[in-house]
Amino acid sequence: MPITLNENLPAFRILSEEGVMVMSPGRAAMQDIRPLRIGLLNLMPKKIQTENQFARLIGATPLQIDFQLIRMSDHESRNTAADHMESFYRPFRDVHATGEKFDGLVITGAPIEHLPFEQVTYWDELTRVFDWTRTHVHSTLGVCWGGMAMAWHLHGLEKHLLDRKAFGCFRHQNRVPASPYLRGFSDDVLIPVSRWTEVRQPEVDARPGLVTLLASDEVGPCLVEDPGHRALYIFNHLEYDSTTLKEEYDRDVAMGKSINVPRNYYPDDDPSRAPSNRWRSHAHLLYGNWINEIYQTTEYDLTRIGSI
């Protein structure tokens, strides 16, 4: 079954050309199916690239997905055309005002790691989003900074600045093979990492409400389950395209920034050679498992989400 996207959204054409099943809202309405309603709160500057990455993974399951794009209400994107934002995104204040509910919500990362959470211009509204998910979203997935921010707000789990950027592809151990979110996973998984901050395993372990599912000896916890809030936090980037780390590296080099070559990404760590994607299958597994777990446990009547 397909993911439902506005036919004018760039992702509609891009994913169609890749063979991903996509459907317009009008055509979807003709099917007698209750689609899963999945929102993307997109905090990344490159909105279109991020939309494509998550829609590609969320739309790869056998279920029909109604994909909704959400933005912070008063934060204007400087990297995405205003008409794109106006056409395809709704501010959170409008979503909140309607009282609508979602089966799932993805909260992306944001390139503001160096700031204390409370200094982020939209922090107050973002904390309202976190609190709102408890009654209006069946399952929430916080990615990178978005996951760290949610874990800080709900659990007081600190993020720590790193001396050097954790940058490259790192091996992660499957710590809970029986988890439904890790169904089909190998014992170890290669995952792209791109961050200047970390959360620390002893501090995760000190919070009884959190369970680490994937972790690396080199770059720490990656996937943490928060059953009490029906949430997952993934601090690294299984959603990344094959060339995303290259684009980040090339950008920083062009700007004259001091940046290390992403580890274990280019063949022989040689940036003159083309990187290959060695994480795509596990990306599809994780997001497919997340969608399946939502499907198995969500309410058929969306209005009942959060009422029990």
Q: What's the Cα-to-Cα distance from 27 to each of 7, 13, 24, 36, 114, rounded to whole Å?
A: 11, 16, 5, 16, 44
- 237 catalytically annotated: yes
Residue 176 has pLDDT above 80, yes or no: yes
CA distance 219 to 103: 31
* Catalytic residue (choose from 51, 198, 225, 239): 239
pLDDT of residue 33: 64
Contact between 40 and 108 under an 8 Å Cβ cutoff? The reply is yes
Written out in words, the top-level CATH class of the domain with range 3-158+197-240+290-304 is: alpha beta
Q: What is the pLDDT of residues 123-164, one digit of tens each?
A: 999 999 999 999 999 999 999 999 999 999 999 999 999 999
* Domain ranges within the chain, ordered by starting residue: 3-158+197-240+290-304
Which of 138, 144, 169, 198 does the annotation list as catalytic? 144
Q: Using one digit for the tens of pLDDT, what is the confidence trace for 16-25?
A: 777 666 666 6
Q: Quick one: average pLDDT of 278-286?
A: 97
pLDDT above 70 (res 288): yes
Global confidence as pTM: 0.90
The lowest-confidence range among 10-14, 138-142, 215-219 is 10-14
Whether residue 248 lies in the annotated active site: no
Catalytic position from the list 237, 248, 282, 293: 237
Model confidence at 189: pLDDT above 60: yes
Q: b/e string for 186-207 if b means 16 or more Cβ within 10 A?
A: eeebbbbbbbbbbbeeebbeee
Give ∠ CA 193-196-202 in degrees, rounded to 5: 80
The three-state secondary structure class of 62 is coil
Q: Which residues pair with 92 in a beta bridge?
A: none
